[in-house]
Structure formats: C-alpha cells, structure tokens
Amino acid sequence: MKCPQCLTDHDVSATKCSVCEHAFAPQQGKSARYVSFYAEYFAFRELVTPQLIKVVYIVGTCFITAAGLLSILSPETLNEYEAGPILTRLGGIVVLLVGNLVWRMMCEGAILLFSLHEVLVSIDTRAKALVLQGKSNRQ
C-alpha cells in the first residue's frame, strides 16, 4: 500500500505512514459471497486449462525422458538403426536435454497466455473500481 501523501510503500496491515504520519483509511473487507464452482466454471471465470497444462507437462516430460533413456540404454534399439550406437546414444542425450527444454518452453508459453488473461481481468476489475470511486467522489 502506498501513502497518498508521500507515496512511501507500506505493508497492507499498516494503519499510518511511517514517514509523514498520515493515517490510512481502514481496509474494507470483501463481502463473503458464496459462488459455486459450477457457476464460475460455466461462466468461464474459473479456468481449468492452466492446471491441465501442468499435468500434461509432467506426462510429456516422462515420455520424453523415457524415450531418451530408451535410446541410450536399450540394446534392441541400437541394432535397429544404421547410424550406429554412438549416434543413437548422442541422439538420446539430445532428446533428454533439448526435448525436455523445448517441451517446457511450449508449456510455459501456453500458461503465459492464461496468465495474461488473469492480469487483464485484474486490470479490468481495478479500472471499474476506480471509475466507481471517481463517480462517488463527484457526488
């Protein structure tokens, strides 16, 4: 929380400014309003995709890691490739390192889109509150 007079940052629980001694207005708590999960879910205010992406990331990482380790350690796969065991093992190491890194970047990009949505909703909510506050101050 910032002091409106000197713009010093303070903890949310502060009652007055430590620099200019300006008294802060008491924080008004949000009204306890029960909204069911289903109401939020079907109104698309509760996003389930970010949690789903995290689960998909873990499953994908397990598959990529298993494929890399199988390529490195399995003698059956070494006999099937004409490139030879050295290149197959190097390919497995590349899959382990680069494959997991690229998979992580893809999942982070998807979660970033949903994080942007949450930030935009937060900005919209704050803007509406400021507009309402401005209208009440004029009256």
The torsion angles phi and psi of 21, rounded to 5 degrees, stand at 65, 20
Whether 99 and 64 have beta carbons less than 8 Å apart is answered as: yes
Residue 55 in domain: yes
Q: Of 101, 98, 96, 35, which is closest to residue 71 (Cα–Cα)?
A: 96
Residue 59 in domain: yes
Which pLDDT tens digit goes with each residue over 36-62? Answer: 767 777 777 667 788 899 999 999 999
Residue 53 in domain: yes
* Whether the predicted pLDDT of 81 surpasses 70: no
Residue 130 in domain: no
Domain count, the chain: 1
The torsion angles phi and psi of 66, rounded to 5 degrees, stand at -65, -40
Residue 99 domain boundaries: 46-123
pLDDT at 31: 47
Which pLDDT tens digit goes with each residue over 89-134? Answer: 788 889 999 999 999 999 999 999 888 877 887 888 888 888 888 7
Residue 84 in domain: yes
Compute, in degrees rounded to 10, the torsion defined by CA atoms 118, 123, 128, 133: 130
What is the residue type of 102? V
Residue 50 in domain: yes
